[in-house]
Structure 1
Amino acid sequence: MNSSRALYFRLLREIQPYWPVVALSIFCLAAAAGVDVYLTSLLKPLVDQNLRADSLARSEAWDLPLEIFGLAVIRLVTNFGSDYGSAWISARVMYDLREKMFSRFLKLPVRYYDKSSTGVLVSRVTYDVSQIMDAGVQVMTTLVRDSVTTVFLLGLMLYRDWQLTLLCLILIPGVALSIRIVGRRQRRISRETQSSMGDMTRILDESLSGQRMVKIFGGFRFELTRFLRVNNSVRTLTVKRAATSSMNSGVIMLLIGITLAFIVYYASLRAQQGQLTAGAFVSFMVAMMMIQSPIKNITRINESLHRGLAAAETVFGVLDETEELDDGTQEIGRAKGALKLDDVSFDYGGNNRPALDHVSLDIAPGQTVALVGSSGSGKTTLANLLPRFYEATSGGITLDGVPVNQFRIHDLRRQFAMVSQDVILFNDTVAANIAYGDAAPDLERIRAAATAAFALDFIEAMPEGFNTMLGENGVRLSGGQRQRLAIARAIYKDAPVLILDEATSALDTESERKVQAALENLMQDRTTIVIAHRLSTIENADRIVVMSQGRIVEAGRHAELMDKGGAYAQMHRVQFTQQVEETAP
């Protein structure tokens, strides 16, 4: 766990590039504090001179009011400068941190997302970053303004009467002890609050994105119970944090009150003895009353600091995560598409059985290879190893005879296009979704890709054609339409290797026919790996590879495997029987 000192200094390094604005803001804060204290010091001449009937001539009576007016103008300027500077620094550093976090998220390996909730990750970028800077700016403002104010007021009190001032210092040990005890509790509560807010965001993300499943399966009460539990946790922690802060401030105010009672009594005795003028007494008492507010704010700085440090732990934890391994140096233009897996094994971790167990497979350029088998047999895992979504535990994978880890990862992934059962569409235009990833999209290519994917008809029927916004994940489209847009995107990319992960398994017969025709256009002159559930869709594949428990149990063309009468023939007979039963009157 990072120490508080290390976390805070790391946060200061994020602020360091903007030190001119920080310096200006600090100067304005200090100047504003100085003006406030100087105004307090003017109470002595006001009481001792201006308020006496025989003290000043009429012309001299304007001196002090004009001085106060000038100080008010300076206070206006310095207050605006400090507030604006603090807000600018806070917004800028939040921008930087969120940019760094988002960039790091996009570079993290797939394994990181396998064990992380999207809602928690969103909470890191939105809630935690704002907590850091709210606390950071508040700490800086309090530390400068209230510390300077306290020092100046203390100096004024020493100047007016040093003996009375020494009485005020007796509360310092008690304040320090209170801060130390409360700080530990605040840090723990803030850390628990961060975790609870992450859970709340996760539950919101799951419940709202899956609202149809919630409705159809009657999950309202279950989701509400989950949300109420975490919402109550956030409420309880918020109250605990406020109670701890209030108790800390209350104890300090009690110490100040006790000290104040002694000071008033002692000051009264000194005034009676003529050792303290009325103006000096008033100035001292106002300064002493004013010093309570900055001292109170300084005691609360611990709460803000530890809330920010708890958030900093999670934010910097993300920034410290190891990025995807990208140690390849070899560039590649357009691959021929020859793939080879040589004795490849892979383990997700925590399982007794590896997902892939010594798999060897040779795929020639332009060849269509279908992977079939029951769920959990390793088909999708094998496909995910090719673009290095995961790294093989052992064995080697080559593209055109070169190990895939020798290519720069961006260059390697440019050689692959993917169409899966779970289509991802972005809340953008149709054209932007088809040309996704292209910084300079070509409208003619977009139209040609849509035509080849048999998507042009329904696209042109939309209100704004290719400029129509799709909404979140293309919610307004049918399953077949979304699938054909995904195929158009793969056609537009024009990658030499294509991965089809059960691209038609969730479609009705009519949609499947259109999507299958689009896939045939897409597969031309490309090395294609097809992960298929319906065996009828891959009978024309150049090779069919049957997998079971992470191993290849047989491979060959459809006719060869049917004649062999092995695992593939058995699977085919079962599916054929089911289809006959489903279509029988």
Structure 2
Amino acid sequence: MSVSRHWPVACRGSPGVRSGRSWLPPPAWPSSCYAVISACSERLRRSFVLYKRVLRYLRPYWKVFLVSLLSMSIAAATEPAFARLMKPLIDGGFVNKDGSSLIWAPLAIVGLFLVRGLTSYVNEYATSWLTGHLVQSLREEMFAKLVRLPVHYYDDNPSGRLLSRIAFDVNQVTEAGFNVITVTVKDGITILGLLGLLFYTDWQLTLICLAVLPIVSLCVRLVSKRLRGLSLQNQQNMAQLTQVLGETIDCQRVVKVYGGEEYEARRFHRHAEAIRHNAVKQSATSSANTGVTQLIIACALAAILYFAALRAQSGSFTAGDFMSFLTAMLMLFAPVKRITSISQSLQKGLAAAESVFGFLDENGEPDHGTHRLENTRGGLQFDGLQFTYPHAERASLYDINFTVNPGETVALVGSSGSGKTTLVSLIPRFYEPTAGRILLDGRPLTDLTLGSLRRHIAMVSQDVVLFNDSVAANIAYGRIGEVSRDEIIAAARAANALEFIEAMPQGFDTVIGENGVRLSGGQRQRLAIARALLKNAPILILDEATSALDTQSERLVQSALENLMKDRTTLVIAHRLSTIEHADRIVVMHQGRIAEVGNHHELIAHDGLYANLHRLQFKEPSWVTA
């Protein structure tokens, strides 16, 4: 029977090796082998690219980096020098009874450790300085990216993950940044120096030490992949934990009222447990790697001690040689352990770097406009406008066509989900239309730069956003340093906010707490109106600005809004129809389309959707009629 019959069909007929009278074709590599090799090479390439990108942030500080490398190199060189001093100390001072060796050798050791202490201090200081700058640079770049991300990115990503990336992942990047370099350079020089001393003392015994290196490398390689996956999982767990914390803090009143304490505690426990479990896995993996490595080195040490004793008996190995060799070999343990454990820090850092740079590579808001808008009359034209949210099943706006004249007040009414808020969100270009366009004074919004467009728009919404700062800083937000105190006071007076501001402990310098928690709803709303007044933008968007207020607060806010709306192009979204009866025009929306357009009296006479909404809101209860 031919031997070739035992080969797979795919391998027959291929070039092979002659064996006797038959040609034996070589077995083809399985496709899985190529896949594994390809995956490994791709992983190495990505790791190299990430690491190179991290080091790019240290380039401006290359002088400090050079000082750090020099100091750590000197500190590392003192370890083999100390081991070398053991030979003259033992042979000269103890074996040969040389008194001078007992004097200069200890003094040399003291001087050696003095140099080591000074260089280690310089190295630690420089390392800390560089690490701090690396973290600061990354955080500032990430924050700059954060404020320029499009609105839909915030819609798709939980805030906890964003916070975790900036607060947690950046710190992990330093593990792949300078810390790995420090360990690699310092311990690498130490290992090379000690190995050089070992070869110089006895090369044959040193070969036993080198025999264990391939085994140690294999252990490190197996552990690295496991640690990389655990680090990525830990980042996700931290993001989820941060999300639970943020939601619980923001919604603490809802949690209390609805008795959600135990539910939130269970959610927190679940994510905290996942983080703890992941940390145990990482520690166990790293510890197992370290333990196996130390066991291998201990076996090599036992063999070395045995052969060194045999050499000493033959007289070719002095007591000083043995002490110097043993000291160098024992000192080799710590740097080898750190070098083998560096893969854990490297994998954590690379996983964090992948997260950080993935965030930095996100596309910011599209801003292809070239025209810088200096002044505007405020005329808006909606031309065939359509919009669909990402991943939505149907469009939110269909074929919107109408014009807002400069200085005109146009109200948008309709049931919830009819597209009112979506429509006004397209004006400051929080989203880009799916089809159609919006024109400002006859020029498409896409031709304008984002910054110049938004400088001419002010917004007041139902959900007022305030900052944990003083009253004056909140009113002058965006223009701090550009406006005087008198202008801030004038804006507060026009917004009917001056009375309650002056009643505060520090007046305009009173810190109002997170999102104005120390203020009532009406007071927060009036501060937002004062902020819009101070901006003095020609286009004003009011989104349910009075819907959540009591009657007295609504009167004050409505009066402030009337001051704000003077001589401005205003779009008002309102559910309370009483607040928009005097609008120049009312646009009634239904399921993303314009159903009716007209003023209050025209729409009531038309007896359509608006008239129906009006009857529902102002229908008298049966007990009043009775």
TM-score normalised per structure 2? 0.91
Q: Does 1:28 align with 2:71?
A: yes
What is the aligned partner in structure 2 of residue 318 from structure 1?
A: 359
Matched AA of 2:557:
V
Rounded to whole Å, the distance in 2 between the matches of 1:350 and 1:71 is: 67
| Residue 338 in structure 1 maps to residue 366 in structure 2 | no
Q: Which residue of 1 aligns with 2:491?
A: 449
Distance 2:605 2:349 in 1: 69
Instruction: Give the aligned partner of residue 494 of structure 1.
Output: 536
Counterpart for residue 524 of structure 1: 566
Q: CA deviation at 1:37?
A: 1.6
Q: Distance in 2 between matches of 1:580 and 1:25?
A: 81
SS in 2 for 1:107: coil
Q: 1:581 to 1:366 in 2, by over 3 A?
A: farther
1:136 corresponds in structure 2 to 177
Alpha-carbon shift at residue 390 of structure 1 (Å): 0.4
Please state how far the C-alpha of 1:182 moved relative to its aligned partner: 0.5
Aligned counterpart in structure 1 of residue 608 of structure 2, from 562, 566, 572: 566
Are residues 1:541 and 2:583 paired? yes
Within the alignment, does 1:250 sit opposite 2:291 as a pair?
A: yes
Tell me, in whole angstroms, the C-alpha distance in 1 between the residues paired with 2:247 and 2:538: 36
Contact 2:175–2:346, Cα closer than 8 Å, also in 1: no
* CA displacement, residues 111-163 of structure 1 (integer Å, 9 cap, x when unaligned): 10011111211111110001111342321111011111110000011111110
Listed one character per residue, the Cα deviations across residues 357-399 of structure 1 (whole Å, up to 9, x for unaligned) are 1111100000000000111100000000001000001101011
Question: Who is 2:93 aligned against?
Answer: 50
Partner of 2:162: 121
1:131-530 aligned within 5 A:
131-440=172-481, 441-530=483-572
Cα drift, residue 581 of structure 1: 6.7
Distance in 1 between residues matched to 2:623 and 2:580, nearest whole Å: 20
Structure 1 residue 495: Cα displacement: 0.2
Give 1:582 deviation, angstroms: 9.9
Q: Deviations over 1:281-336 (max 9, x none)?
A: 01101111110111110011100000000100110011100111111111122210
**Aligned equivalents of 1:581 and 1:370: distance in 2?**
30
* Alpha-carbon separation, structure 2, partners of 1:317 and 1:498: 37
Give unmatched runs, 5+ long, in structure 1: none
Contact conserved, 2:89 with 2:102, CA < 8 A, in 1?
A: no
Please state whether the residue corresponding to 2:407 is helix, strand or coil: coil
CA distance in structure 1 between the partners assigned to 2:604 and 2:518 by the alignment: 42
State the shift of 1:209 in Å: 1.2
Alpha-carbon distance, 1:462 to partner: 0.4
* Deviation of 1:72 (Å): 1.9
Query: What letter matches 1:572 in structure 2?
Result: H
Deviates more, 1:66-75 or 1:280-289: 66-75
Aligned 8 A contact 1:191 1:311 in 2 = yes
How far does residue 164 in structure 1 lie from its aligned partner after superposition? 0.3
**Aligned match of 1:552 in 581, 594, 612?**
594
Matches of 2:533 and 2:191, distance apart in 1: 69
Deviation (angstroms), 1:583: 8.2
Letter in 2 for 1:522: L
Task: After superposition, give the CA deviation of every residue in 1:188-220 in whole Å (9 maximum; x if it has no partner).
Answer: 000000111111111111111111111111111
Residue 123 of structure 2 aligns to a residue in which SS?
helix
1:487/1:518 contact within 8 Å kept: yes
Q: Distance in 2 between matches of 1:259 and 1:583?
A: 99
Structure 1 distance, partners of 2:350, 2:96, is: 58
- The equivalent of 1:10 in structure 2 is 53
Q: How far off its partner does 1:65 sit?
A: 2.5
Whether the 8 Å CA contact 2:228–2:351 is kept in 1: the answer is: yes
Q: Deviations over 1:235-266 (max 9, x none)?
A: 01000000000011111111111111111111
Name the SS of the counterpart of 1:436 in structure 2: coil
Report if aligned partners of 1:90, 1:134 keep a CA contact under 8 Å in 2: no
Shift of 1:584: 8.8
**TM-score normalised to structure 1 length:** 0.98
Identify unmatched segments of 5+ residues in structure 2. Answer: 1-42
Note the aligned Cα RMSD (angstroms): 1.4
Distance 2:75 2:624 in 1: 84
Deviates further, 108-117 or 64-73 = 64-73
